[in-house]
């Protein structure tokens, strides 16, 4: 029997300061039943996901990472609701997401020299509440 988190999920984001959700597409998860790792084939609108599902003192926690050439998204949430109906199981995970832009300057193989003592500017970020529902 597959892990209960395996399957198709609808993802929504509430960016920091927002009161309305933003659709974030669909997530397909394949969770390895024996070790809780996110298996090959898991994706967020076709973009590869890594991560794991594990039981904690607070409940079942799902952590996901999606890496692209210009952005890294980290998501972590707890199973907040689980309801059995006649034909299916309804699940809700609520947590946090954080997007961190990868700033590439100049040649990828050479570090850009910063003036001595000048702090590097922080990469642009987006963060907020993450909610996924199944089905």
Q: Which pLDDT does position 112 carry in this prediction?
A: 47
d(CA 40, CA 28): 11
d(CA 40, CA 117): 44
Instruction: Give 64-114 as a DSSP string.
Output: EEEE-SSEEEEEEEEEEEEEE-SS-EEEEEEEEEEEEE----S-TTSPPPP
Q: Is pLDDT above 90 for 35?
A: yes
Question: What ranges do the domains of the chain cover?
Answer: 7-106+117-134
Q: Is pLDDT above 50 for 109?
A: no
User: What CATH code is assigned to 7-106+117-134?
Assistant: 2.40.128.30
Contacts of 109 (CB under 8 A, 6+ apart): none
HSE-CB at 32 with a 13 A cutoff on CA atoms is 11
* pLDDT tens for each residue of 43-89: 999 999 999 999 999 999 999 999 988 899 999 999 999 999 888 88
């Amino acid at each position: 029997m597959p892990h209960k988190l395996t399957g198709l999920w609808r993802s929504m984001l509430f960016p920091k300061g927002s009161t309305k959700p933003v659709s974030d597409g669909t997530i397909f998860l394949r969770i390895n039943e024996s070790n809780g790792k996110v298996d090959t084939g898991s994706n967020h609108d076709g973009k590869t996901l890594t991560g794991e599902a594990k039981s904690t003192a607070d409940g079942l926690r799902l952590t996901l990472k999606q890496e692209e050439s210009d952005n890294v998204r980290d998501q972590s949430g707890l199973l907040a609701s689980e309801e059995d109906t006649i034909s299916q199981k309804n699940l809700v995970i609520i947590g946090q997401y954080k997007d961190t832009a990868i700033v590439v300057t100049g040649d990828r193989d050479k570090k850009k020299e910063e003036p001595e003592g000048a702090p590097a500017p922080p990469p642009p970020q987006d963060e907020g509440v993450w909610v996924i529902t199944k089905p």
